[in-house]
Amino acid sequence: MFEALFYLLIFPGGFFLVLVGLGFEWLDRKLLALFQRRVGPPWYQPLADLIKLFSKEDLLPKGGNELVATLLPLLSLCAVLVAGLYVPIAGFTPYSFEGDLIVILFLMSVPTLAYYLAGIISIGIYSILGGGRSLLQYFSYEVPFLIALSGPAVLARSWSIEGILTAQFTLGSFVLFQPLGFILALVGLIGKLKRDPLDIPSAKSEVVGGSLTEFSGGKLGFWHLAMNIQAVVGIFLIINLFLGWTKLANPFVAILVFFLEFLVIVGMLSSASAIFARLRIDQLAGLGWRILVPLSLAQILFVILMGV
């Protein structure tokens, strides 16, 4: 009972994920600033932003539905927090079962759908546009993302993340067999997180704030927190699926390696936002269905042939 509460609230659940989420935001902003010859924020900036958001007045425009507008960010936050509970961290996983990968993928999609709903129920034009765009984007990146992530599962013949990790201990890291799948998973993650360069649903110069235009105060704070934790869970997932190294006996080494891998992936995401321009929605759909889907299919075919 006590142990379960610890897992749920402290580690690897609630508190830890919030902390890493804020740390991720700071690291991302700082790296981007360095790429752009700026100074960047101090380490406590994301936390300060969050505190400030929660202390602000929470406004909802006339005609908005208070209950739904409050539930949507909370729902996305809960979904990603639960997902975080099932992702192994440096090989440590309290709850693992056959099929948890599918549960995580499902939970990770909840914020996107909540984002879409947040736009559609709003009365603001920019929100409606942003909501519609987020769904269009979802259809473009989600298919290659899912196919890319199922590659490791097929290779390991297991739908549990721990099973995939164990398979990597004998076969070797899956990024060696599926470099393409790794890249596709990263692209899909960028699309899922609505990060630059795939920030089409929230592009400031086109649709102001996307679905979140009308949100303020604590609700907006929950949205930001949910997105940061979603990013962290996504990165952890990719590390587990593609970058599991042969059994590391020493837990300290394991934690260190895990942390380094996390840093590398954050660096890759930040540099992607620094060097690419935002795509148009039709260009993204073209990229998704004409390039990413065939590539991911080729990758999975390769994996299946390898398994035979």
Partner 1 sequence: MSKISIPIGPQHPLLKEPLSMKIDISGEKVLGGSLRLGYVHRGIERLAQKRNYVQTIHLVERVCGICSHIHTTTFCQAVESLLKLEVPPRAQYLRALMCELERIHSHLLWLGILAKHVGLDTIFMHTWHDRELALDVMEEITGGRVLHGANQIGGVRFDLDESHFPMIHANLEKLRSQILGLLDILENEPALIARTKGVAPVSQKTIRQYGVVGPVARASGVDVDMRRDNPLPPYDQLKFSVVTMPDGDAWARTIVRAEEIRESLNLCEMILEDLPDGEVSKRAPRNVPEGEVIIRSEAPRGELFYYLRSDGTDQPARLKIRTPTLAALCLLPVQMSDIQVADIPVVLAGVDLCVACADR
Point out which residues bind partner 1 (CB under 8 A): 32, 35-38, 125-126, 128-129, 132-133, 196-197, 199-200, 203-208, 273-283
Identify which of residues 194 and 224 has a Cβ nearer to partner 1 in the complex. 194
Minimum separation from the CB atom of position 33 to partner 1 (A): 9
Count of H helices and E strands in the chain? 13, 0
- Rounded least distance, CB 185 to partner 1, Å: 20
What's the closest the beta carbon of residue 29 comes to partner 1, in angstroms? 12
Shortest spacing between CB 238 and partner 1, in angstroms? 23
In terms of CB distance, is 18 or 266 closer to partner 1? 266
Could you tell me which residues are beta bridge partners of residue 89?
92
Shortest distance, position 87 Cβ to partner 1, whole Å: 30
Between 38 and 56, name the residue whose CB sits nearer to partner 1: 38
72 phi/psi in degrees, rounded to 5: -60, -50
End-to-end Cα spacing for the chain: 44
> Which of 292, 299, 304 has its CA nearest to residue 142?
292
3-class secondary structure, 92: strand
CB of residue 137 to partner 1, shortest distance in Å: 12
Compare residues 1 and 277 and give the one whose CB is closer to partner 1: 277
Residue (203 or 225) nearer to partner 1, CB: 203
Please report how close the Cβ of residue 212 comes to partner 1 at its closest, in angstroms.
13
Tell me the Cα Rg of the chain.
Answer: 19
Helix, strand, or coil here: 89? Answer: strand
Closer of 74 and 120 to partner 1 (Cβ): 120
Q: Which tokens is 214 given?
A: 């009308």
Q: Within 98-124, where are the H helices?
A: 100-121
b/e map of 89-117 (b: 16 or more CB within 10 Å)?
Answer: bbbebbeeeeebbeebbebbbbbbbbbbb
Provide, rounded to whole angstroms, the least separation between the CB of residue 183 and partner 1.
16
What is the distance between the alpha carbons of residues 209 and 202, in angstroms, rounded to a whole number?
5
**CB-based contacts of 124: which residues, under 8 Å, 6+ apart?**
61, 213, 214
CA torsion 165-168-170-175 (nearest 10°) is: -170
Shorter beta-carbon distance to partner 1: residue 18 or 129: 129
Identity of the residue, 246 or 283, whose beta carbon is nearer to partner 1 in the bound complex: 283
